[in-house]
Structure 1
C-alpha cells in the first residue's frame, strides 16, 4: 500500500468506509459515501473543462468545498493550486496566469452543511498554444510538458521574501502519506484537525493521511484555530485525536482537560524542550521536518520522551521515498549524494555538521519561473535539493542548528544563533529563545557603535541564571552580551518568530536620561543611577546592582566601548576603557566619576 497512489487510496477509503464521517464542519458533515459522490461529480466536470495536465485554481476559503476540489483534481489527474481569498485580484490572477489555470472553483453554498462547489472556466483566460508532444519545444519546460504527473503547485516565499512557485509530482505523495498513516495510526474513529492554511503545503499531510485511512477531517474557521484558549476549546469540542501544528501554536496553547488527543506533531519550525514536556504528557508527541520543495515532510520522530530531549529535540527518521546527506557549507554535491549509497558509505562522506541535502523521489519537480521550470536536479539528473538548513548529527540522530542565511559574524567570530537558542532552551525554565546580532549605537556625532549578540527569551528564568547556564555550556564568545526576558515572542502571520519586531522593540526602548535630568522629586539623578541605567540598556538585565562586575553580567570589549562612549556623552569626558576594565564592580566605577579621575 506504500506506493498506492493517493487518489486510489482515497477511493479505497470511500468504498471501505462508506458510512464513516469523512469531513466535518461546524455546519454539518459528509460521510465517505457522500464525499465520494460529490468529489466524483467534480472530477467529471474537470474532465470536460480542463485539458490533460491543465491546472485548476481552488479558492482556499475554509470549508469542505476546497477539500472536495482537491480530491476531485487528484481523481481527474489535474494538478491544482490553492489561492487565498484575501489576496488581491491582481495577485491571484498573476498566479493563475503563471500556471495557465483553466478552471476555478466557486462556492454558491448549500443546505444542511452539504457544500455546493462549482467549477467555471477562468474568466478572461487566453489559451496558450501548446507544442505537440514530439515537437521538441525550445527552452525550459512548462508545466504541461513535464514527464511527471503533477499533483499541485504551491507559492512560497521561503527565506527570501520573493514568491516562488514549486511544482510537486503526484508519485511523491504516496510513500510520504502512507508512512504518516502507519506511524500516526490513523483510521476510522480518528479525527484530524485541519489546521494549516490551504495555501500552505502543510495542509497536504493533514488532509491525505486522514482521507486515505478512513478517518475524519475536521474543518473549522480561522477564529477557532487561534493559538491559546480558542484552539484548546476546538481540540476539546471536536474531540480531536490528531493535530499537526506550529511551534507558536504549541507554545501558546495548553492541552484541553479530558483531551482526546492521541498524536500531536510539531511542524514548521524548531521544536523546544518545553513544548515536548507539555504535549507529551497528554499524547504521543512527534517532531517533523520538511520543506515545500521536498514534498512537505522528510523526517518524523517516533513518540518523544521529554526526559530524552534535554540536549535538544531530534528531527526524526526518514519519511517517504527520500534519503539525505550532509555537506560542509558551500561545498558542491558530489558522488557522496548518490541515493544508492548505503548508510555506512554515506556516513563516511558526511561531516558531523553541515547543510542538509535531500535526495530521492520526494524532491519536488522544480521552480516555475518566467522562462520555464528550473528543476531540482544535479548535473547527472538526480533529484537533489539543498535545504539551506545546517544540521548536526549526534548519536545517530539529526538536530537542527540554523539556517545558512542566518549565520552571523560578530566580533570576528562566525556564530550559529540556533545553536545558542537550543542551549538556552535546555534550561527547564526557558520556553523559547531567539538570538540576534544587533547594532548598539554609541555616542551621537560619530561615536562608537558595535554589533553585539542579544538573546531574547520567554520563561521564568532570571537573566542572570540564563547567562550563567550559557556560560557553562558554550564558548565565551558565543555568550550574548544582552540577555533579556520578554513576556511573549512576536510572531509573523505564518507563525514564525518576528525577529525584526524584536530588533525594533530594543531600538525604540527609551534611552537613559542625561546626567542633568531630574527625578520625580526634582533632584538631579545621581551618577550611580546613570551608570546602572546604561548597563541595564547594554546587557538587558533589569536588576543590575552596584556590586555587579560589568564583565560578569554580559560586558565585553564591544559593550565596553559603548559604555565609555555613553559616559562621555553624559558629561564624563575623561572616561576611558582602561578604567572600566580596572573597576572591581560598578560601584567602584561610579565612585570615581564625580572626581573626574575617570
Structure 2
C-alpha cells in the first residue's frame, strides 16, 4: 500500500480503568500521582475513583452515559476521570478557564447526563443545561462503590471538543479500545523505566493528556502534575519523561529552565527545527521523539525517534502499533513515494466520529479498503505529507486549519464569531510569523461604520474573549477599507497586509512616566513587535498579544535588564507595564546558580510493566 503499516500487536484488557485496577491491586502502595507536596498511592487513587463512581451511580449514571468534568488540574481531577470510567460512562473535559458561553454550548451539544465540578469553578449557566454534582457537597469516601460495571473495547471513553470551521466546536468520540491501543504502544515503546515519572503538563481538554496521565497509570509509573509546560523549570521532583509541544520545550531550553535529569522528550502538535534535537541531547536527554496524530485517531498515529544526525524537515516517522496510513491525491487515489498528498489514517485508533454530526463524520471518515475489521474506516486528516521509503514528511494543510503553540484552530470558527459583531462588515483571520512574537493570530477587519481604532480593537477582543478560549483570540487587528479579492471575487489571503499595521486595542494610552516604566515598555514592545509609543502603562500584556511562551521570555528579559529574580508567576500576576515596573523596583537579586554538572540526573528505579 502507498503509505505504511505499523506493527500488528495484541492489546490486553477491555478498558483503561480495568488495566489501572490490575496495577493498583498488584502494587497498592506505589506512588500514582504527585501534585506538588501531595503524594497519592495507587491504592488511594483507586479507592477515591471508586467512591466517585458510587456518587455517579447513585445519580443514575451508567454504561453509555456521558459525564462532564470541570475541575482544576489536581489529583482530584485524575480520580474523577477514572471514577467516570468505573461508573461505565465516558468523560467530556470542560476547562474552568474557558468562557462560560463556550462551556454551555459544549454541555448542550454533548448531551451530558451530569457535570462534576466544585463550587466557584463551574461557569454560570451550565446548571440550566444538565444536573451538576459539586464535590464540595458530597462525601465520596462514604459512597457505595459500583460493583464493576461491564464495559467493552467499543464503549465510549471520552469526547474531546475541537475547533470547528462553522463556528461551533465539534466533539470527537474515542472508544476504550482505541485508548488501550495507544497505551499498549506506549508501554512497549518506552517501558516501565521511562514511564516511571511522567510530567503531565497538558490540559485534559487536549489529547496529549491521555498519554501523559494513563500511560504511566497503566504501567506502574507515576504522574507528576505540573501547571503547564513552562512551569517544568520549577518542578522539585525527578521527571523521567516530558511530553509537550516543541515551542514550549524550545522556550525552556533557551531560557535555561529545562529540568535536569529528564531521559526522554516527546514532542508533538507542531513542526520544529532539527536544531532543537541537538540542544536537548546536549542537556543529557537520551531519547527525543517527534510524535504525530490528530484527536480523531487517538493522540498519536506515527512517530520518529530522532538521532544526532536528524536534519530538517524533521520527519513524523512511521505508523504506531495496529495503525496504517495512506497518502492520496485530491481524487483519493494513492500517490507514489515523494509525491505530495493528503494523509489518511486507519486502524485501531480511528475515532467513532463526531458526536451528533453524521454528515461531517461521513465526510471525514471514509470506508477503509485496508481495514482488518468489517466497517473499518480511514480518517482524512487534511494534512499534506510526502511518503519516503523510511518515513513520512509533514508539509502543511489542505484547508484553513492551523496550529499555534500546539493548539489546533479552525480559522473559520474565529471568523464566524468575529463576523457576528455588529461593528464588523467582513473579517478574515490569519496566522502571522513575523519578528520576535513568532506565530500569532491576526484579524483583518472591514469595520461596518468606517475606520477602526484602538477602542474598536479592545471591543472586538472582549467580544471574542467571552465566546472563545484565549488561544483563539487574535493578538490584534488590521483594519481595512476592503478585503483584497481575486478576479473571481474570492478573498485573496495572499495579498492581506502584514501585521505592521496591527492595532492591539490600547484604547486610552498613558505613556511611561519614569525610566523604569520606559525600560519595561521597550522590552514589551520588542517582544510583541509593536512600536513602543503604542503601548500604555495600563495595557495588559496578554491583551496586546502576549501569551505564556512570550511571558516566559519577558520574565527572563526583565531579570537580565534589572538584575532581579523575575519569575513566570510574577509576569502573570503583574500584567501591565505599571505593575511590572513596580515589581522590578522591589524584586530581589537572583540566587547563586548551581552548575548543571553538579545536579544529580534522574535514575528510574525498576518497576514491573
TM-score of Structure 1 vs Structure 2, range by shorter chain: 0.5 to 0.7
8 Å CA contact 2:433, 2:440 repeated in 1: no
- Summarize the alignment of residues 359-370 of structure 1 with structure 2, pairs less than 5 Å apart: 359-369=346-356
Structure 1 residue matching 2:316: 3-state secondary structure: coil
User: Partner residue of 2:184?
Assistant: 178
- Following TM superposition, by how much is the alpha carbon of 1:63 offset from its aligned partner in structure 2, in angstroms? 0.9
Deviation at 1:286, TM superposition (A): 0.4
- Correspondence 1:355 to 2:369: no
Deviation (angstroms), 1:175 = 1.5
- Compute the displacement of 1:99 (Å): 2.0
1:33 aligns with 2:21: no
Count of matched residue pairs = 386
What is aligned with 1:213? 219
| 1:150 paired to 2:156 | yes
Q: Partner of 2:569 in structure 1?
A: none
**2:436 alignment counterpart:** 487
Unaligned runs of 5+ in 2: 1-9, 132-151, 369-374, 404-430, 442-468, 479-496, 504-609
What CA distance in whole angstroms lies between the structure 1 residues aligned with 2:472 and 2:47? Answer: 39
Aligned to 1:378: 366
Q: Which residue of 2 aligns with 1:306?
A: 308
Deviations 1:390-444 (A, max 9, x none): 111234211111111269xxxxxxxxx99xxxxxxxxxxxxxxxxxxxxxxxxxx
* Corresponding residue SS for 2:85: helix
- Which residue number in structure 2 is paired with residue 546 of structure 1? none
With over 3 angstroms needed to count, the CA separation of the structure-2 counterparts of 1:20 and 1:63, relative to structure 1, is same
Deviation, 1:456, is: 5.6
Q: Is 1:240 matched with 2:246?
A: no
Secondary structure, aligned partner of 2:399:
helix
1:54 Cα deviation from its structure 2 partner = 0.9
Q: Could you tell me how far apart the structure 1 residues matched to 2:40 and 2:194 are? A: 14
Q: Quote the Cα distance in structure 1 between the aligned partners of 2:438 and 2:263.
A: 28
Aligned to 2:273: 272
The equivalent residue for 2:331 is 331
* Corresponding position of 2:29: 19
Cα gap change, 1:495 to 1:319, in 2 (>3 Å): farther
Counterpart CA distance in 1 for 2:156 and 2:320 is: 20
Q: Larger Cα Rg: Structure 1 or Structure 2? A: 1
Alignment check: 8 A CA contact 2:69 2:115 kept: yes
Asked if the contact 2:112/2:130 (under 8 Å) is kept, the reply is no
Give the conservation status (yes or no) of the 8 Å contact 2:171–2:354.
yes
SS of the equivalent of 1:214 reads coil
* Aligned equivalent of 1:104, options 115, 136, 139: 115
CA offsets, 1:254-306, max 9 Å, x none? Answer: 1657712011011111131122111133221100000011111101223x113
CA distance in 2, matches of 1:359, 1:371: 19
- In 2: Cα distance, 1:68 partner to 1:99 partner: 22
Work out whether residues 22 and 30 of structure 1, in 8 Å CA contact, stay in contact via their aligned partners in 2: yes
Tell me the secondary structure at the aligned position of residue 29 of structure 2: coil
TM-score by length of 1: 0.58
Distance 2:194 2:52 in 1: 25
1:48 aligned onto 2:58: yes
Q: Distance in 1 between matches of 2:37 and 2:396?
A: 43
Cross-structure match for 1:132: none
**Structure 2 CA distance for partners of 1:489 and 1:89, relative to 1, 3 Å:** closer
Unmatched 5+ residue regions in structure 1? 110-116, 128-145, 337-347, 408-416, 419-453, 458-485, 510-598
